[in-house]
A and B are shown apart, each in its own frame.
Chain A
Amino acid sequence: MKTSFPSPQSFFRQRRLRLSVVLIILIGIYVLSMTIVNFQTWTSIVKIPAGIIWLFHNFIPTERSISYLGPILYQLWRTLLVSISSTIIASLFSLVFAILGAQTTTPHPVLRIVIRFGASLLRNIPVVAWAMILLFSFKQSDFTGFLALFFMTLGYLTRAFTETIEDLDAEKLQALQAVGANYFQCVFCGVLPEAASTLTSWVLYMIENNLRDATLVGLLTGTGVGFLFDFYFKSFRYDAAGLIVLLIAILVIVLELTSTMIRRAIA
């Protein structure tokens, strides 16, 4: 025992060795990625300050940009609507799937596995792929964006809701069962009220997230504020594009603050 006791020197040597290996691997990954992507760290970093200055010169909205305010606000409003409605509709479906798929409330274990798998599938297809899958059938309409966000959200919320329901105190459910409540009574009087505020937090979070993604989807499918940005951007009306960026940032921040406030109020 005493002879095998490692000296502090060898302990630290080992530790340093492990740290070095991790560092070398990370640096290796970095260099490899740099070569594959064909990115020059230094020359690009040097350009950043100039880029920021250029940004401030060209992207600052001017008086002229105010004339674009009407269409921008309208498209921003449309984008917000699509993010909210896709989240809400998806959350209704997710709730049903989550109740059917959560360990504590599932009617059948096989159903649980099917739902888990399906949700994971939906979640792991990037929103870009959704947009491409849907674009041909649904054309350049709000509906394409709506459905793309809907499927993504469905995947995310089903998982989040399932976990929320599974985290609930099992004893409370047993107490309800003990007084003779049937399955539906358990779910509607026990599970849902208990989980309501957490579930709503997830919904609010998803709305925030979808607003950001909606811009991207719009860019790809030619709808909403994303399309408008692309349009001004490609016709070199940077001040108008800058106005859009500014307004999106404001909207996202306002949404974030509101949902934080609501979350606190309902907790």
Chain B
Amino acid sequence: MIENSQPKPETIQPSASHAKKITLVTKPRKILRSVLAGLTIVTIYSLATLNNSNLQLSEAFKSLGANLNAMFLHPSVGQDSWALLLRALATSVSLAMLTTLLGALIAFFIAVGAARNLAPNWLATSIKAVMAFVRAIPTILWVLIYSVVMGLGASAAVVGLTFHSVAYLVKAYSESIEETSQDTIEALKASGVGFWPIVFQAILPSIVPALLSWTFIRFEINFANAVAVGAAAGADDIGYYLFMAGSFYFNFHEVGLIVYLLLAVAIVLELVSMKLRGHYLKHN
């Protein structure tokens, strides 16, 4: 409905002078509408040209229904064992924890150099640019790239995941640092305190809640990424078994069980993050 009024903004434009007084459409509104209209057009074009030549949609949905039924109503361990799957799940969680901790530690020090209120402008700008580039490349590609250098397996997975975590956290951390008040920093500078003591004694305590919350968000992302790495780069974690069950053995009962396991972890994470947030809200 909104889009219908869109095709002729140009014809309206010349007569805008006398219509000006009664128009309710401000400039941001106009931009908003054209953006939405543009996206809608792209969507329609995209749907019309979607490559589904070898696909009977009604058949496919019917088969999806049957598969969903097999997955979620009759989950089973398939050709693997509970012990194997739980161990693989533990590997995924460990992978996520390892890369988040490592990434957070490295990212904090880089973030100090990337914060405009602490570092010289040229340094902050160049670090931010490099990090934006690293961040723009999907995690899975980093893992694959490193797997050529280090061989497929844990090391490549950890390094690849950490790489992307660092880039993500540097952005988040440095923005948190930039939000600390310049005045409190100045107060300590005025009493002759050096750079690193200010960072650790003044800035760090002020931004701990923000850091924790960003780190936890990244942990959730890293868990999803760890699963993806297993599926796409053959790290020996739950993602790998998911991939094998789904696209090799076509065992949908096992896919269902693994999805349930992943959901269970996600629920635990959500509960923990709610607890953490509640803890800090209480203190603030």
Which of the candidate stretches B5-13, B115-123, B182-190, B242-250 sits at the interface with the other chain?
Answer: B242-250
B266 part of interface (Cβ distance < 8 Å): yes
Shortest CB-to-CB span from A247 to chain B, Å, is 10
Contacts of A38 in B (CB 8 A): 154
Q: A34-57 CB contact bits vs B (8 Å, 1 = yes)?
A: 101111110110011011001100
Which of the candidate stretches A5-13, A61-69, A106-114, A139-147 sits at the interface with the other chain?
Answer: A139-147
Asked if B54 contacts A82 (CB within 8 A), the reply is no
- Out of A40, A89, A138, A266, which one reaches B32, CB within 8 Å? A266
Asked if A44 contacts B158 (CB within 8 A), the reply is yes
Contacts of A216 in B (CB 8 A): 138-140, 228, 232
Shortest CB-to-CB span from B240 to chain A, Å, is 10
Contacts of A127 in B (CB 8 A): 224, 228
Contacts of B252 in A (CB 8 A): 136
Shortest CB-to-CB span from B117 to chain A, Å, is 21
Contact A37/B94 with A125-B263, A262-B31 known, Cβ cut-off 8 Å: yes
Asked if A253 contacts B247 (CB within 8 A), the reply is no
Asked if A44 contacts B159 (CB within 8 A), the reply is yes
Asked if B39 contacts A84 (CB within 8 A), the reply is yes
Which of the candidate stretches A97-105, A162-170, A174-182, A195-203 sits at the interface with the other chain?
Answer: A195-203
Residue of A nearest to B1 (CB): A188
Contacts of A14-40 to chain B: CB distance below 8 A: 26, 29-30, 32-34, 36-40
B146 part of interface (Cβ distance < 8 Å): yes
A96 part of interface (Cβ distance < 8 Å): no
Contacts of A138 in B (CB 8 A): 55, 60, 64
- Give complex CA distance A134, B246 in Å: 9
Residue of B nearest to A214 (CB): B138
Contacts of A203 in B (CB 8 A): 39
- Give complex CA distance A124, B259 in Å: 9
Contacts of A131 in B (CB 8 A): 231, 246
Asked if B32 contacts A139 (CB within 8 A), the reply is no
Asked if A143 contacts B247 (CB within 8 A), the reply is no
- Give complex CA distance A30, B101 in Å: 7
- Give complex CA distance A248, B221 in Å: 20
A1 part of interface (Cβ distance < 8 Å): no
Which of B40, B133, B136 lies at the interface centre, i.e. has the most chain A CB atoms within 10 A of its CB?
B136
Asked if A253 contacts B136 (CB within 8 A), the reply is yes
Asked if B42 contacts A32 (CB within 8 A), the reply is no
Asked if A137 contacts B140 (CB within 8 A), the reply is no
- Out of A34, A121, A146, A197, which one reaches B98, CB within 8 Å? A34
Contact A126/B228 with A33-B95, A133-B71 known, Cβ cut-off 8 Å: yes
29 contacts between A and B (CB under 8 A): A34-B94, A34-B98, A37-B154, A55-B145, A81-B42, A84-B43, A124-B263, A125-B263, A128-B228, A128-B232, A129-B242, A129-B258, A131-B231, A132-B247, A133-B68, A136-B63, A136-B247, A138-B60, A141-B51, A143-B50, A215-B140, A215-B141, A216-B138, A248-B136, A248-B138, A249-B133, A249-B137, A266-B32, A267-B28
Residues of A within 8 A of B (CB): 26, 29-30, 32-34, 36-41, 43-44, 47-48, 50-51, 54-55, 58-59, 78, 81-82, 84-85, 88-89, 120-121, 124-129, 131-139, 141-143, 146, 196-197, 200, 203, 212-213, 215-216, 219-220, 223, 229, 233, 238, 245, 248-250, 252-253, 256, 262, 265-267
Closest 8 CB pairs of A and B: A132-B246, A124-B266, A33-B94, A51-B149, A81-B46, A252-B136, A85-B46, A249-B136
